Amino acid sequence: QDIEKIESASLHAREVIKKLLVFARQMPPEKTQVNLDQVVEETLDFFEARGAEIGIEVECSLSRDLPEITADPAQLNQVLVNLVVNALQAMPEGGKLTVRTRACENDVSLIVEDTGTGMSEDVQEQIFVPFFTTKDVGEGTGLGLPVVHGIVTSHGGSIQVESKLGRGTRFEIRLPVEGSQSVKENG
pLDDT tens track for 67-76: 999 999 989 9
> Exposed (0-12), middle (13-18) or buried (19+): which is 182, by Cβ within 10 Å?
exposed
The region that residue 55 occupies, defined by phi over 0 for left and psi between -120 and 50 for alpha, beta otherwise, is: left
Residue 18 pLDDT greater than 90, yes or no: no
11, pLDDT greater than 90: no
- DSSP class per residue in 46-110: HHHHHHHHTTEEEEEE--S-PPPEEE-HHHHHHHHHHHHHHHHHT-TT-EEEEEEEEE-SSEEEE
What is the per-residue burial (b if ≥16 Cβ within 10 Å, else e) of 110-134? bbbbbbbbbbeeeeeeebbebeebe
Which pLDDT belongs to residue 48?
Answer: 80
96-102: average pLDDT: 95
Whole-number pLDDT of residue 19 = 66
Query: Is the pLDDT score of 162 beyond 70?
Result: yes
The Cα 111–Cα 161 span in angstroms is 10
User: Percent of the chain beyond pLDDT 70?
Assistant: 83
What is the pLDDT, as a whole number, of residue 70? Answer: 92
d(CA 87, CA 95): 10
CA distances from 159 to 7, 56, 83, 90, 111 (A): 36, 24, 12, 19, 10
Instruction: Give the bridge partners for 161, in sequence order.
Output: 171
Q: What is the pLDDT of residue 42?
A: 87
Percent of the chain's residues with pLDDT above 90? 41
d(CA 11, CA 16): 9
Return the pLDDT at 165. 92
Residue 28 per-residue DSSP state:
-
Report the chain's mean pLDDT, rounded to a whole number: 83
What is the rounded average pLDDT of the residues 45-54?
Answer: 81
pLDDT at 36: 94
Residue 110: pLDDT band with limits 50, 70, 90: very high
| Degrees to nearest 5, angle at CA 141 with 120 and 172 | 50
Q: What is the pLDDT of residue 146?
A: 86
Tens of pLDDT along 116-146?
A: 999 988 888 888 887 777 776 556 667 788 8
**pTM tops 0.85:** no
d(Cα 97, Cα 79) in Å, to the nearest integer? 16
